[in-house]
Amino acid sequence: IHAGIQDYLKILNDGGGIKGRKIKYVAEDTAYKVDASVAAFNKITGQEKVSLYYGDSTGFSKTINPELERRGSMIMAGASFATELNDPKKFPLQFMAGPDYTEMFGILLRYIAKEKPGARVAFVYSDSEFGRDPITPSEAVAKELKLSVVEKIVTPPGSVDVSTEVLKLRRANPDFTIFHGYVLAPIPEFVTQAKQMGMKSQFMGTFWTMDNSTVQRMGDAAEGFMGVMPYRYYYDKDGSSPMLEKIRQMRPEYQSTGYLQGFVTAMLMAEAVKRTLDAGKELTGANLKAGLNSIKDFDTGGLFGVPISIPGNSVPVGRIYRFDAKAKQMQPASDWIKL
Amino acid sequence: MVASPILEVSGVSLAFGGVRALSDVSFNVPEGAITAVIGPNGAGKTSLFNTISGFYRPQAGSIRFAGESLDGVRAPQRAARGLARTFQNIALFRGMTVLDNIKLGRHAHMRTGVLDALFYWGRAQKEELELRAEIEERIIDFLEIQHIRNASVGTLSYGLQKRVELARALAMRPRILMLDEPVAGMNREETEDMARFILDVKEEWGVTILMVEHDMGMVMDISDRVVVLNFGQVIASGTPREVQGNDAVIAAYLGSGDVGAIARRIKAEAA
Amino acid sequence: MRIGTLKTSYAADEALFDSSVQRTLLVLLALGAIAFPFVASPYWLFLACLCAINVASATGLNLLTGYTGLVSLGQAAFMSVGAYTVAVLEIRLGTPFFINLLVGAGFAAAIGVLVGIPSLKVKGLYLAIATIAASVILHFLFSHWSLTGESRGLSMPPARLFGLNLDQPFLLYWLIMPVTCLMVLGAANLLRTRIGRAFIAIRDRDISAEVLGIPLLRYKLTSFAISSFYAGLAGGLWAYFFRVVTPESFPLVNSIFYLAAIIVGGMGTILGGILGAVFMTLVPELLKFVANWATPFYPDALAALAPVRTIVFGGLIVGFLIFEPRGLAEIWRRLRRFFHLWPFRT
Amino acid sequence: MDALFLAEVTLAGLGAGALYALTGVAFVLIYKATRVVNLAIGEILMLGGYAFLGFAAGLGLSPWLALPLAIAAGGALGWLVERALIRPMLGESPISVFMVTIGLGSILTGVVQLGWGADPLRLPEFMPSAPVFIGEAYLAPKVAIGFVAAAVVIGLFLALFRFSRGGVALKATAADQGAAYSVGIDVPRVFSVAWILACATAAGAGVLVGAIGGISPTMGVFGLSVLVVVIIGGLDSIAGALVGGLLIGLVEALAGAFLGGEFKLVVTFALLLVLLMVRPYGLFGTHEIERL
Amino acid sequence: MAGPAVLDVNNVEVVYNRTVQVLRGLSLQVPQGEIVALLGSNGAGKSTLLKAVSNLLSLEDGDVTAGAIRFRGDDIAALTPHGLVRRGLFHVMEGRRIFEDLSVEENLTAATFALTGRKLPAADFDLVYSYFPRLHECRKGLAGYLSGGEQQMLAIGRALIARPSLILLDEPSLGLAPKLVEEIFAIIARINAEQKVSMLLVEQNAAVAFAVANYGYILEMGKVVIDGPVEKLMRDQDVREFYLGLGGAGAERSYRDIKHYKRRKRWLS
Ligand SMILES: Nc1ncnc2c1ncn2[C@@H]1O[C@H](COP(=O)(O)OP(=O)(O)OP(=O)(O)O)[C@@H](O)[C@H]1O
Ligand SMILES: Nc1ncnc2c1ncn2[C@@H]1O[C@H](COP(=O)(O)OP(=O)(O)OP(=O)(O)O)[C@@H](O)[C@H]1O
Ligand SMILES: [Mg+2]
Ligand SMILES: [Mg+2]
């Protein structure tokens, strides 16, 4: 993420910045601990006049929100796609550069409904805020789409042995199984054991699982694994994507989806600044956010496959990819789906 | 000479699993005198002390102290009523100074509650200062331990530690003082010092003393009454002189009293 | 150089700060603390408040573990009880903050007593694990109970004082710092009365303490109650400070953090709890400075920071235990002695 | 609830329990000899997994060579830890020593993260993958293999203590080092051997656990469940670790199957609390002799 | 003094925690096959000396800072504590130090480690049981539940298993009933006479120590103040008064007659 932000700002500043203003980037490590993050926030905002802030966890985003409103001088994005944050009323100065988790589920479910109407779906998620986030609203979405959610399996966070859960999954016998709230473990073991038992379910994941290298590390279980991704992959050469070209020039080796997230976030933030300045307004949080929300059918240089809009705090766009073990790459399995 | 009993032990039995530590033990401790409990190792002397202090609960029998039954009274309340003791294996608190160890003895007689303590200036302080004055003037002076009052107990020699234990027991406002082997591990000279303190506690403080001790020289010299335990049973009691002459006691406990003769015989046999 | 202090009354001998040098130092410290918010940046104020909260909690744990010898890995969980109570009261009832804090702390104390009940039979590390069990159960409760916002937790309004919203470190400082000072003073007072002596006696050898007139269960529970009262109060302050309470706010590693803090500071001394908590709170920040400073020479410094922090945290615990088991307080004591006797060496 | 499902869940639970038991035995070994509550056992286990990965994937060795090497690496770590951290702590209070192991766990986690990154990784496949059926009940092959391996190792340990005076040396050393020296026991050696054996066992268990669920720097939380296991079994009882391990494995599986995965940890810890109230020293733990 | 010395302590100084000096230039010898008694008041450093000899000081943060200790000619500084035991020097420590949660038999088994690496026949449990029949009766029971005297027997029994040539005995009579003291000392005398084991005996009970010993040392403040054959010591006025409690006329003084003032020892003035 760090590298993505850095690279975009380098491109931007090398090109003369925004209306002659260069963007200065200050980074701090926080180890995903809320108190460390808040400390960093205080430190950075104490030293610089900040307009754009990139935070890390959901917890931090929530914690800092009142302070953000109190200051009213900046907008913030973060690594979290938590559904809760996608609420312009409660979090007026925040946004995320992609769909929130519920929207990711929505995209997946829409795809499923199209492929196999009335399919049986199972949700497997970790017992954490991250894991629970989209579950309840997504059930409603599934119902709307006339899909039946046949099983919801919670696993303790950090658990490794999932034999019992696989047994449960087999009993439910879903056509599609969506994992959420994990990065890698215990997905591979789940898939492997399920395949050994002869299950035919299609397994799917959400953003943080879907990085190419992560899926690759699933080993045998990776083949055919599907999931939702709002950005194009680094190696995606379909269509025109001048930004991806640039990235490939700057960094010849594969860049993760996290990198892209950082990159896109920086890009959208810069765009918000540009629009605010264009409108001749002051760089306050509210103005920046308004600038951001004015983004409509904006071309991100092909990073998102389609032009995007930011109606609220998120960018509700994504595409289904499927892993091809031979090519060791994710291949598009659907069109871009806009919610 | 024998006054009314301050402590009455009647029919006390105590067992650990299959081990009968005490069976049907009965005896009285007369007020204002020194009573010694003697008996072979494992006879149940310490267990008897533990039962009296309320650390063990006997399966049968009852104990009366100063005319009141102690049944159902837990160890800390017994201490509060004036049952003070020292321990066979020194049980001083190594994390505290000598002074604090002694102060601790008064615990049950103090009133400071948590809130008093948190605010301190007021009731708590008054109580602490009164205690300090009394300990300094009555106990520390009496036992001649002024020089070590701020030492940490871990650094003291064994004999001094025993003396601090005695001081702590005296701070408990004892009506009866139970001493478990007060002179074990001491040489003749130190034993004499301790014997002197014990006699003074009895005479100057008027405290009844119940003690367990294996040093027959001292026991027979300073005690007024002796109770002999063997296998958890009382096998004899009476004045030192009576007990000393009791054949059962000699057989079970005292032995011939002449190690020298035995050693000479062994050496002769081996030669 | 100072030559022996002569005391003329028992009161003087029993005072907390027994020399005029110490008292002067204390006054200077207090003045410094009052002046601090006016000169420090929000960042340093933030850290000061965080340190104060951690000092409060660590002092509580020190009473329980350092003085009473009952090892607890539940301090963070007790804090969470205080924090949640405060948040719920603030959101649902909007009662004044000092009432919320006291109720929160009282509630934490009650839970602490509940957790402490096995301590009469369950000893040593068995007890430590039992406190982990309590934390796990509390965590489960908070993350599945609608009142506490399930896994999303609660966001709450700021504390208010005379119509003023205490929503910045500068204002909160005036709430957190005095409360912490009072708590530390209370702990120091407690320890020079019969209650403190009873705690130490229980730590050193509980069964003989009982025979000397100390009711074991009552004092063990008192210790648990006071310690979790402190935790609850600290947790309440924490809640007002961050204004978001989630189940992940008080993970098990935080309990370990507090234990580590009192070990590094020096177990069983009030000063140790303070020094340890401040030190352990500041070390990660210090590391960040080092990393920022090292970035030009070693570009990956920032990325390596997280693991290095973990290593340093562990290394500090291990290092102190092996090389200075009595902690920072002992180092401080030695320094003091050195200066008292200066220029003469002992 | 059909019987087959119940049977499968039970089998899966016992399989997981065997790994708990194995790690629990490693824990007990150290406790028995040195009275050290080793909270780093989870991290040592983790290191076993990473060592295996390092040998197999990093150096490209065959998994069957990497496995003994990983176990040996665990042993070496045990030796080092005992020498560098535990021996200087002789005579310190148990709290201090157990905090040292917490610190050690933190260090190991950081080191692994520094070396391999924070992301979870998978071990190369090296076990047969044909599913195992017991009757009609399915059992994941790796779980079955883990069970057998754990059973063999625990059996070996039990035999060792039954038929040699090693057990006496261990207990004697733990009880009183000075006295152990005075009867001619080579105390430092007992310490070393206990730590080496235990850490090697834990590392081996780490390879098994990692093979099933992948490895990550947070794998140390496995140690938390192991702690429950040994407390329930009794800190100093190998048989206790065995029984406790299987019990916890089973309880977790049943809780996961019938209540939901989020209940696993809570149910085991609640069980632990209840049990401690009834048996303060676990099922088979030695009672301290308390005399005045 | 007859026979070559099994143990030769020469001008030893011991310091605890690098600060507290306990032994100040102490020398003594234990001749082959004899019992040497070591007396002295509390804290004189008797146990410290024994720990220095058996190399166990380091466990308590103590150091021998000067002087040399030789066991059968070898400097013990070069040996490990268990190595010393395996060469035949056995220390029965103060406070018995039996393994409480092992059974009696396992306690004896633990002592068989003393035979490791020595070409000796298997451990002789029966010999121990013949000296201490009581131990045979409760050999399966936990040692922690034995009475004090039985624990002392077990501690000496462990020494017998190890077939030592020198036993260091630290206060074997501590806390024992008079009859047991008699029994233990009879057995000490027998072991010495029958097994030809030399002994260094630390005791507070001077009367019994003198009954079995051939030679005696008296220690004060970490130094030897008097030594000599037992017969000679028993005639010494101070020893009679301070260690044996005999009045001027030779009769035992009564504790009731002790005065409140302190008398001074001549050897300290
Ligand atoms: N907590 C206990 N559990 C089991 N048995 C015990 C316990 N305490 C004492 N005993 C047993 O009770 C008996 C009496 O022991 P006690 O300590 O009272 O003897 P004693 O007369 O004080 O001996 P000594 O003179 O050696 O101190 C012994 O057989 C002892 O093993
Ligand atoms: N581990 C230690 N650390 C510091 N000082 C010690 C230590 N052990 C003993 N001492 C001190 O050394 C001195 C001698 O102790 P030692 O145990 O050798 O005496 P002793 O002659 O055996 O006395 P006793 O008759 O009480 O057994 C004492 O003053 C004691 O306080
Ligand atoms: Mg006794
Ligand atoms: Mg001694």
Q: Is B44 on the interface with C (CB under 8 A)?
A: no
Cβ pairs B/E, distance under 8 A: 131
Smallest Cα distance from C229 to chain B, Å: 12
The C-alpha R_g of chain D, in whole angstroms, comes to 19
Q: What is the pLDDT of residue E36?
A: 95
Two structure tokens written together for B202: 């009895």
> Which stretches of chain E are DSSP H helices?
46-53, 81-86, 104-111, 125-131, 133-137, 148-161, 178-195, 206-212, 230-233, 237-238
Least confident piece of the model among A53-62, A314-323, B83-92: A53-62
Instruction: Identify the nearest ligand to the CA of B214 by its number.
Output: 1
Q: How many domains does chain B have?
A: 2
pLDDT in tens, B141-182: 888 888 888 888 887 877 889 999 999 999 999 999 999 999
pLDDT in tens, B179-219: 999 998 888 888 888 999 999 999 988 999 999 999 998 99
pLDDT in tens, C282-311: 998 888 888 778 777 776 766 777 888 889
Determine whether the shortest distance from the Cβ of E17 to ligand 2 is under 6 A.
Answer: yes
Q: Which residues is E221 bridged to in the sheet?
A: none
Identity of the residue numbered A186: P
For A130-150, what is the mean pLDDT?
A: 88
How are the residues of chain E apportioned to helix, strand and coil, as percentages rounded to the nearest 5? 40, 25, 35
Across the interface, whether the CB atoms of C284 and A70 are under 8 A apart is answered: no
Report every protein residue that has its C-beta within 5 angstroms of ion ligand 3: B 46, 88
Q: What is the pLDDT of residue C142?
A: 93
pLDDT in tens, A106-132: 999 999 998 888 889 999 998 888 888
Tell which CATH architecture fits domain C40-340.
Orthogonal Bundle (1.10)
Choose, out of C211, C216, C233, C326, the residue to mutate when testing the contact with B (most B CBs < 10 Å): C211
Q: Is B117 on the interface with C (CB under 8 A)?
A: yes
DSSP string, C106-166: HHHHHHHHHHHGGGGTS-HHHHHHHHHHHHHHHHHHHHH-GGGTGGG-EE-PPEEETTEEE
Q: Whose CA is nearest to atom 29 of ligand 1?
A: B42
B43 & B100 share domain: no
Q: What is the pLDDT of residue E269?
A: 36
Nearest to D121 among A192, A193, A217 (CB): A217
Instruction: Identify the nearest ligand to the CA of D291 by its number.
Output: 1
Q: Which residues is B12 bridged to in the sheet?
A: B25
Domain residue ranges of chain C, discontinuous segments joined by +: 40-340
Q: Is C126 on the interface with D (CB under 8 A)?
A: yes
Closest residue by Cα to residue C243 from C60, C63, C99, C86: C86
Q: Which of residues 103-162 of A touch C (CB under 8 A)?
A: 127-129, 132
Provide the CA C216 distance to its chain's centre, in angstroms.
25
Smallest Cα distance from A268 to chain C, Å: 25
Closest residue by Cα to residue B135 from B109, B117, B116: B109
Q: Name the percent of chain A lying above pLDDT 90.
A: 4
B255 & B151 share domain: no
Highest mean pLDDT among A264-268, C26-30, C277-281: C277-281
Q: Is A311 on the interface with D (CB under 8 A)?
A: no
Chain B residues within an 8 Å CB radius of C209: 93, 104
Across the interface, whether the CB atoms of B88 and E186 are under 8 A apart is answered: no
Q: What is the pLDDT of residue C60?
A: 96
Q: Is the peptide bond before C343 cis (omega within 30 degrees of 0)?
A: yes
Residue D223 reports pLDDT greater than 50: yes
Determine whether the shortest distance from the Cβ of E87 to ligand 2 is under 6 A.
Answer: no
Chain B residues within an 8 Å CB radius of C207: 55
The Cα A193–Cα A190 span in angstroms is 5
Q: Do chains C and E touch (3 or more CB pairs under 8 A)?
A: no
Ligand 1 neighbours by CB, cut-off 6 Å = B 16, 19, 21, 39, 41-47, 88; D 291; E 145, 147-148, 175
For chain B, what is the mean pLDDT?
Answer: 89
Across the interface, whether the CB atoms of B222 and E256 are under 8 A apart is answered: yes
For C112-135, what is the mean pLDDT?
A: 89
Residue B240 reports pLDDT greater than 60: yes
Q: What is the pLDDT along chain E (269 residues), one digit of tens a residue?
A: 445 789 999 999 999 888 888 899 999 999 999 999 999 888 888 999 999 999 998 888 888 999 899 999 889 988 999 999 999 999 999 888 899 888 999 999 999 998 887 776 777 889 899 988 889 988 898 888 887 788 888 999 999 888 899 999 999 988 888 888 888 899 899 899 888 899 999 998 888 899 999 999 999 888 999 999 999 998 888 888 878 877 655 566 777 776 555 555 555 43
Confidence category of residue C54, pLDDT binned at 50, 70, 90: very high
Residue of chain B whose Cα is closest to the Cα of D290: B55
B185 & B269 share domain: yes
B132 & B68 share domain: no
B123 & B190 share domain: no
B108 & B164 share domain: yes
Pairing of strands A75-78, E20-31: unpaired
The best mutation among B47, B59, B179 to test binding of ligand 1, ranked by most ligand atoms within 8 Å of the C-beta, falls on B47
Across the interface, whether the CB atoms of A127 and C143 are under 8 A apart is answered: yes
Residue C252 reports pLDDT greater than 60: yes
Nearest to B100 among C197, C203, C222 (CB): C197
Q: Whole-model pTM?
A: 0.91
The Cα B89–Cα B81 span in angstroms is 24
For A55-84, what is the mean pLDDT?
A: 83
Residue of chain D whose Cα is closest to the Cα of B46: D292
Q: What is the pLDDT of residue A68?
A: 83
Q: What is the pLDDT of residue E3?
A: 56
* The last residue of a domain, from among B147, B171, B195: B171
Q: Is C318 on the interface with D (CB under 8 A)?
A: yes
Q: What is the pLDDT of residue E1?
A: 45
For A227-233, what is the mean pLDDT?
A: 88
B167 & B240 share domain: no
Q: Which residue segment(s) compose the domain that B56 sits in? A: 1-82+174-271
Nearest to E180 among B41, B257, B260 (CB): B41
pLDDT in tens, D108-151: 999 999 888 877 788 887 777 777 777 777 778 888 888 899 89
Determine whether the shortest distance from the Cβ of E45 to ligand 2 is under 6 A.
Answer: yes
Closest residue by Cα to residue C277 from C37, C52, C10: C52
Across the interface, whether the CB atoms of C197 and B96 are under 8 A apart is answered: yes
Smallest Cα distance from E263 to chain D, Å: 35
Provide the CA D79 distance to its chain's centre, in angstroms.
17
Q: What are phi and psi of B230, to 5 degrees?
A: -145, 130
Neighbours of A251 (CB within 10 A): 14
Q: What's the CA angle centered on D104, arms D99 and D109, to 5 degrees?
A: 130
Instruction: Identify the nearest ligand to the CA of E41 by its number.
Output: 2
Residue B229 reports pLDDT greater than 90: yes
Q: Name the percent of chain A lying above pLDDT 70.
A: 97
Across the interface, whether the CB atoms of A217 and D218 are under 8 A apart is answered: no
pLDDT in tens, D142-177: 888 888 998 999 999 888 888 888 888 988 988 888
B6 & B76 share domain: yes
Across the interface, whether the CB atoms of D171 and E162 are under 8 A apart is answered: no
Across the interface, whether the CB atoms of E260 and B196 are under 8 A apart is answered: yes
Q: Name the percent of chain B lying above pLDDT 90.
A: 52
B23 & B76 share domain: yes
B236 & B167 share domain: no
Residue A148 reports pLDDT greater than 80: yes
Q: What is the pLDDT of residue C18?
A: 67
B18 & B57 share domain: yes
User: Please, which chains are in contact with D (at least 3 CB pairs closer than 8 A)?
Assistant: A, B, C, E
Across the interface, whether the CB atoms of A185 and D209 are under 8 A apart is answered: no
Q: What is the pLDDT of residue A158?
A: 66
For D9-23, what is the mean pLDDT?
A: 90
User: Please, which chains are in contact with E (at least 3 CB pairs closer than 8 A)?
Assistant: B, D
CA of E123 to the centre of ligand 4 (A): 30
Q: What is the pLDDT of residue C248?
A: 85
The best mutation among D287, D288, D289, D291 to test binding of ligand 1, ranked by most ligand atoms within 8 Å of the C-beta, falls on D291
Dihedral angle, C-alpha A143, A146, A150, A154, nearest 10 °: -40
The Cα A308–Cα A290 span in angstroms is 16
DSSP string, A251-299: --S---HHHHHHHHHHHHHHHHHHHHHHTT----HHHHHHHHHT--SB-
Confidence category of residue D1, pLDDT binned at 50, 70, 90: low
Neighbours of C132 (CB within 10 A): 22
B78 & B182 share domain: yes
Confidence category of residue C339, pLDDT binned at 50, 70, 90: confident
Q: What's the CA angle centered on D92, arms D90 and D95, to 5 degrees?
A: 125
Q: Are A217 and D121 in contact (CB under 8 A)?
A: yes
Choose, out of D138, D207, D250, the residue to mutate when testing the contact with A (most A CBs < 10 Å): D138
Place of tokens 């307004």: A281
Across the interface, whether the CB atoms of D92 and C321 are under 8 A apart is answered: yes
**Residue C339: CB partners within 8 Å, gap ≥ 6?**
none
List of E strands, chain A:
52-55, 75-78, 94-95, 120-126, 148-155, 176-180, 202-205, 226-229, 317-324, 329-338
SS3 labels along chain B: CCCCEEEEEEEEEEEECCEEEEEEEEEEEECCCEEEEECCCCCCHHHHHHHHHCCCCCCEEEEEECCEECCCCCHHHHHHHCEEECCCCCCCCCCCEHHHHHHHHCHHHCCCCHHHHHHCCCHHHHHHHHHHHHHHHHHHHHHCCHHHCCCEHHHCCHHHHHHHHHHHHHHCCCCEEEEECCCCCCCHHHHHHHHHHHHHHHHHHCCEEEEECCCHHHHHHHCCEEEEEECCEEEEEECHHHHHCCHHHHHHHHCCCCHHHHHHHHHHHHC
